[in-house]
Chain A
Amino acid sequence: MQVRVPENLTLMEKLNILSDAAKYDVACTSSGVNRSNTGRGIGNCIEAGICHSFSADGRCISLLKILFTNECIYNCRYCLNRVSNDVPRATFTPQEICDLVIGFYRRNYIEGLFLSSGILKNPNYTMELLYQTLFKLRTEYHFGGYIHVKAIPGADERLIERTGYLADRMSVNLELPTAEGLKTLAPNKSRKKILTPMRQVQMRMEENRNELTLYRNAPRFVPAGQSTQMIIGATPENDFQIVSVAEALYKKFELKRVFYSAFVRVNEDSLLPALPGGPPLLREHRLYQADWLLRFYGFEAKELLSEEKPNFNVLLDPKCDWALRHLELFPVEINRAEYGMLLRVPGIGVRSANRIAKARRMGTLDFADLKRMGVVLKRALYFITCKGRTMYPIKVEEDYITRNLLNVKERLPFELGQDITYRQLSLFDDMHLTKETG
């Protein structure tokens, strides 16, 4: 491909094009690292991360999320910026990005920078540009805010390593859950090429941890860890496959986060599924719920789903669904149950489980106390006892509990959440399944 002659675009036009092109990247978190001001420049980071605004789709705006360039030599079928698309192209200069970041950061618009890029000329050339941008920000402007940068698959190891010392988080996108999916939709990418930098970052982080125990002031490599994302619903994988892939990534690659992105059809392409019901948002939501169960609740993928039951229940969240299939373990006594078991009770989250574990050392707990602690009793009451009693007489029976749980309106972050409770009587109607698998 020939390199296009850059037109004279204003900063505003470039920002519009390159933020529009970056918006399908999900990650916008600024969490995972605590760093106070170095004293030379501007900026700090706080562990919990900060959301600075919320866009019209309800997603958090925390970082200035942009591509360095949307001129890309690849032709991934799902991507708006593929080489065969006729879209306006633009490329920033490192200086322009620095001006934007500092200008925005001073006004407290953003928490930092999220820098991704299309592949300009070749992976090394692109990675070098990303490195230069970060280098300028960190050394010339002494920028101490958060930086999330993409590692470009296929780029030189040394370039990725040097960039990692300037960034807080690095990510390599897995793009699609399986290697076969990747082959059909992203002919220029391969699973191996994607996993190589991921492994490299992981190894380097581990070495860095050792260095830091020896030398407290050693430079830190990707202190907020690495993440990845995959597109859901563009290829025919089932939920079980996806959750298993995520679990493997957490266990074998020590990723901090896996993001799921409901497929949005931006290109007309015969290999892409038609989505008459819009992007599979409910499915994405269920995957995030399961993801939380994997990371914070001690669940394993094979507990949630199996080959025989490969997809999530549309009507119930994965935790309720699991509990209903394991009624033999319930009810649990709040004042005595192990912490790990408390976490598995529907209606009890990490925060309330912690509160229970601490409070019960100081005295026994009753249902009124649980309510104050933030336990969702209308969901939990079927699974717990306090001082040996249930809240009121209940039958520990799957049908009975299922019926009652479905009466509890689940708070879904989407408009389609309404349909579910509205249609609750048609329990095994598969109206939502068509929406999902499209």
Chain B
Amino acid sequence: MENTTIFLCEDSLDGILTGVYDAWDSRLGHKNVRLETRAESNLELFCEYRDVERDLAKAEKVLNTVRKRMGEEGEEAVCYAAACTDRRKADAIYRIIVLGLHLKNGRDAVNCLQNEDVALVMKLRQKAWHEAHRMMGFVRFEELQNGILYSQIQPAYDVLSLMAPHFEDRYRQENWIIHDIRRRQMAIHRKEYPWVLADAEMLNPDYKKYYSDQEDEFQQLWKSFCKSIAIEERRNPRCQQSLLPLRFRSCMTEFIVDK
């Protein structure tokens, strides 16, 4: 029996896609290779390990191929699944791409839910999509004195780059920052420019102490609106909590109690 070669890649979309490129390029045969992300990897016996260096050019090539052969749906599935936290995600992404490139019509790959890897990728895609979609609603901006809109989030998955394009379109004429405090990353948008991903270390920690003059008034208006819009006779905190779990609330204006 041949040894399995495990490709250890960085836990990010580009990292995994580079892994896909290297694993394929190694010509060891699909069944003799496995992809794992560094964060979740646990060393195994009788395996050869190869470290994968993130390479944007390789990742770009893989993603272009996926888009061309597996369609937009395939691309979306790969991108969203990579944002999740799951031990098997890197390998499942590799397998769905292998399947997609082998099928006559690669667009059918996402439909093969009988295949466990495809089913996993599609499940992860759904989870990440849901998280990103929720975050699009739950992000709360605060206006700083210089007019910049600043927001903190702590999503369960790495969805910052999946939701930033939405805000780029929505607030095209605004300067804004979305700060993922869990992953120490932020999306920065300058008026009329494309958004960029940046390391949050760059941020001046005193930044958010200086709110604009109107900020407090709007926060109070919003809080009081959220209270008055509820119908007392239909009160149902359990339903509220299942739709808006507590983990989101620490970053949401209407749930932060005034000091």
Binding site for B on A (CB under 8 A): 11-12, 15-16, 19-20, 22-24, 36-37, 39, 41-44, 46, 48, 50-62, 64-65, 100, 103-104, 106-109, 111, 262, 264, 278-279, 281, 355, 358-359, 361-365, 369, 372-373, 413-415
Contact = CB atoms under 8 A, between A and B. Distances in A.
Contacts of B112: 359, 362-363
Contacts of A413: 236, 239
**Interface of B, helix, strand, loop or mixed by DSSP:** helix
A103 B225 CA distance: 13
B113 A373 contact: yes
A50 B133 contact: yes
Contacts of A104: 218, 221-222
A278 B236 CA distance: 13
A103 B214 contact: yes
B228 A20 contact: yes
Interface stretch (B1-9, B77-85, B138-146): B138-146
Given A12-B220, A107-B141, A55 B226 contact: yes
Contacts of B237: 56, 58
B218 A372 contact: no
Residue of A65, A109, A358 most packed against chain B (CB within 10 A)? A109
A20 B224 CA distance: 10
Contacts of A41: 173
A15 B235 contact: no
Nearest 10 CB-CB pairs, A to B? A58-B239, A55-B230, A358-B111, A57-B234, A56-B230, A58-B236, A54-B244, A52-B137, A359-B113, A20-B228
A108 B141 contact: yes
Given A15-B225, A106-B141, 17 more contacts: A42-B174, A44-B169, A44-B170, A46-B166, A53-B226, A55-B229, A57-B232, A57-B235, A57-B236, A106-B143, A108-B139, A109-B140, A362-B108, A362-B111, A369-B119, A372-B119, A413-B236
Nearest to B249: A53
Contacts of B166: 44, 46
Contacts of A373: 113, 119
Nearest to B220: A12
Nearest to A352: B113
Contact of A57 (B169, B214, B222, B230): B230
B229 A359 contact: no
